[in-house]
Amino acid sequence: MNNFFKMSLVAAAVALSGTATAGTFTANADKSLNENGLQFSKEGWVAGDLANTAQYLPTVNYTLAGAYIVGDELNITFGGAGTVDTTNSVIPQTVTVGGATFDKISLDDKKVVYRVISGAAKPGDVFTLVQAKVTAADKTDSTKVGVVITTGTLLLAVDLAATSFTNTGTTAIDIDTSHANAGKMAVNTMSQYGTYAVTSKFNAVIDATSGSTGAKFTNSETGDSVMFAYTAPKTMPTQGLLGQNIGMNDLTTNKVTTTVDLTTEIATANLAKYTVSSANGTVGTGAGVALVYPITYASGTAPVAGDTITITPKTGVDAPILNAGGFELLAKVSNAVTSPAVAPAPVNLDLSAATKNAGEWTIIGSTTINVPYMPYGEGLSQVIYVTNTTDSTALVSVVAQDDLGNEYKLGQVATAIGNGVTKLSTPIKNALIAAGFTSGKLSLDITVNGNATITGAATDGSIKLHTGYNANESDRGFVTNTSNGAK
């Protein structure tokens, strides 16, 4: 070879090498993931071993920033929790990039190294690792190329990095791309669940002016409803979705089940006097101190789209005494997993910011008086009288709370006669015993309703309480309340 030709080769190599700049992995449109990146369901990963803990890396494209000549090396590193399955991965021995042939010289569980054995590649040429494995059977098929990642436990993400060196082994061709590159994520996880929101709240107004016949809703309403709706995530994962069959990375035996708990402030004594119905679900029996109605829906591939839940007071002899109070909803999504056998815990979806407020019932023709302190127990007797100076009778209901925070919704305990005084201490005590309370300190909310002249403030003197207690039949304590001075 003459000297002129040798000098020409050297000059060409120098021109191709140039100054090192960053190579890039091609990103998707919003730069959040590799262009072919896989978005796995976070809930799917929690549920168990997707495809026997083996996942396929997508096709990866890396754009060279520098020029490569014979002897130069390119290293592709796979970061994250998983490792390369070197037994089942089929990585091409040679890859053609522009005018260069890259030859695989090593592979371990985190990195593959290629070296240029002929020709040259210029900046902008693309190095591609193809993924041809699709089905579970492809995993062990040596004729189909592709990188297989073994997750071990939970594969949360796989990121990509590239380093490259000239044939001297000391100078970088492309700057290390392990820096923050939004397009380098090849595998990532995100939730497959969105959120719920209350779209229409309970808002009935109770007319409590008809004391002798019970209360009713105004405007001739027969019931009151709450509505809620589901909003899916802005971006849905495409792999490992619970309840869906999508091929290799799926959990076909899983179903998504939605339940909604409706919590009411309906008094326990009145519980059987209401009908709770659901347009799309099945309502269970209300139970517990918080009076929770569980509502279940048919399992499917996604959370239930929404529902209308209606509370209807019964009529006639079964009609309840309606009381003001609030409502809450809490939606829960669970995964009916059959393989693996252990299902993940339900995912609680927030219905509305912080309070999950589902509305309330308000009331006209009533007033509530608070007695901040009343002791019960051996040697103690209570003095509680209500004075009603209006012409009509009024219904008396009670909610008590003890010093441990337990609440006792006693419902209607007595009727306050018009223009008279009615003793309340005995019916309240009997109702407390029936509710399981016998000893301790209580705060009492005593509601008097069923009288057109009651405005709710009790400041006009039409409704007053006299409250106190006797200790050991000798000492008497006077207790203030919000009708006689307590704030």
Q: Which CATH number do you get for residue 263?
A: 2.60.40
Residues 345 and 431 in one domain: no
CA distance 422 to 410: 18
What pLDDT, on the 0 to 100 scale, is given for residue 150?
A: 80
Contact predicate 33/39, CB 8 Å: yes
Q: Could you tell me the pTM of the whole model?
A: 0.63
Token look-up 């009145």 returns: 270
Same domain, 415 and 432: yes
Per-residue pLDDT of the chain (487 residues; tens, 9 = 90+): 444 333 343 334 434 444 446 688 877 777 777 788 888 777 776 655 444 467 788 898 999 988 999 999 999 988 877 789 999 999 999 999 999 999 999 999 999 999 999 999 999 999 999 999 887 788 889 999 999 888 655 555 778 888 888 887 767 787 655 444 444 677 777 888 888 889 999 998 887 766 544 567 876 778 999 999 999 888 888 777 776 655 555 554 557 888 899 988 776 667 778 899 999 999 988 776 567 889 999 988 888 999 999 999 888 888 887 777 889 998 888 775 544 444 555 666 766 554 578 998 887 777 889 999 999 999 999 999 999 988 778 888 899 999 998 999 888 899 899 889 999 999 999 999 999 999 999 999 998 876 666 655 444 678 899 999 999 877 888 999 988 876 5
- Residue 389 DSSP class: -
pLDDT at position 426: 96
306, 341, 363 — which closes off a domain? Answer: 363
| Confidence (pLDDT) at 13 | 41
Residue 357, amino acid: N
- Whether the bond between 340 and the residue before it is cis, its omega within 30 degrees of 0, is yes
The DSSP output letter for 177 is T
What b/e string do you get for 138-148 counting C-beta neighbours within 10 Å, with b at 16 or more?
bbeeeebbbbb
pLDDT score recorded for residue 79: 82
Which class for 128: exposed (0-12), middle (13-18), buried (19 or more C-beta within 10 A)?
A: middle
Nearest of 327, 320, 316 to residue 449 by alpha carbon:
320
- Report pLDDT for 179: 41
312 residue type, one letter: T
Calpha distance 446→369 (Å, rounded) = 5
Three-state secondary structure call for residue 469: strand
**Do 263 and 331 belong to one domain?**
yes
Instruction: Please check whether residues 159 and 282 belong to one and the same domain.
Output: no
| pLDDT given at position 253 | 52
Residues 67 and 124: beta-carbon distance below 8 Å: no
Cβ contact 134:247 at 8 Å: yes
Are residue 82 and residue 94 in the same domain, yes or no?
yes
Are 385 and 421 within 8 A, CB to CB? yes
| 487: in domain | no
Tell whether 484 is covered by a domain: no
CA-wise closest residue to 231 among 311, 303, 171: 303
* Domain around 305: 195-363
Are 258 and 206 in a shared domain?
yes
In a domain, 461, yes or no: yes
Distance (Å) of CA 142 to CA 127, 249, 378, 465: 22, 20, 84, 88
Q: Which amino acid is at 347?
A: V
Residue 280 and residue 394: Cα distance in Å, rounded? 39
Q: Which residue has the tokens 């005995």?
A: 426
CB-facing half-sphere around the CA of 105: CA atoms within 13 A: 12
Shared-domain flag, residues 301 and 386: no
110 plus 248 within the same structural domain: no
| C-alpha dist (Å) from residue 370 to 48, 74, 95, 249, 450 | 53, 78, 82, 60, 18
Distance, CA of 402 to CA of 439 (rounded, Å) = 9
Asked if residue 370 and residue 311 are part of one domain, the reply reads no
- Please state, as a whole number, how many other Cβ atoms lie within 10 Å of the Cβ of residue 361: 21
- The answer on 204 and 160 residing in a single domain is no
User: What's the confidence (pLDDT) of residue 365?
Assistant: 76
pLDDT on residue 16: 43
- The answer to whether the beta carbons of residues 115 and 56 sit under 8 Å apart is no
pLDDT at 21: 62
**Last residue of one domain, picked from the residues 363, 380, 401:** 363
377: left (phi over 0), alpha (psi -120 to 50) or beta: left
Does any domain span residue 214? Answer: yes
Q: What pLDDT shows up at residue 364?
A: 76
Question: Following CA atoms 76, 78, 83, 87 in sequence, which dihedral angle do they give, to the nearest 10 degrees?
Answer: -30
314 within 8 A of 321, measured Cβ to Cβ: no
317 and 381 part of one domain: no
Structure tokens that stand for 470 in this block: 């006797």
- Work out how many domains the chain is built from and give that number: 3
Q: How many Cβ atoms are within 10 Å of 462's Cβ, its own excluded?
A: 19
Are 263 and 135 in the same domain?
no
Report the amino acid identity of residue 151.
T
CATH number, domain of 384, equals 2.60.290.11
Q: What is the pLDDT of residue 485?
A: 75
User: Given 190, 207, 236, which residue is the final one in a domain?
Assistant: 190
